[in-house]
Amino acid sequence: MLLWHGSRLTNFVGILSQGLRIAPPEAPATGYMFGKGVYFADLVSKSAQYCFTDRKNPVGFMLLSEVALGEVYELTKAKYIEKLPEGKHSTKGLGKKVPKKSDFVKWKDDVIVPCGKPVPSNVKDSELMYNEYIVYNTAQVKMQFLLKVRFHHKR
* Choice among 26, 74, 82, 132 that is catalytic: 132
Residue 132 is a catalytic residue: yes
Give the 3-state secondary structure of residue 47: helix
Q: What is the DSSP letter of 2?
A: E
Q: Residue 3, exposed/middle/buried by CB under 10 A (0-12, 13-18, 19+)?
A: buried
Q: Where are the beta strands (DSSP E) in the chain?
A: 2-7, 38-40, 59-67, 72-75, 90-93, 95-99, 105-107, 111-113, 118-120, 128-130, 132-135, 141-150
Question: Distance (Å, rounded) from C-alpha 88 to C-alpha 40?
Answer: 17
Q: Catalytic site residues?
A: 132
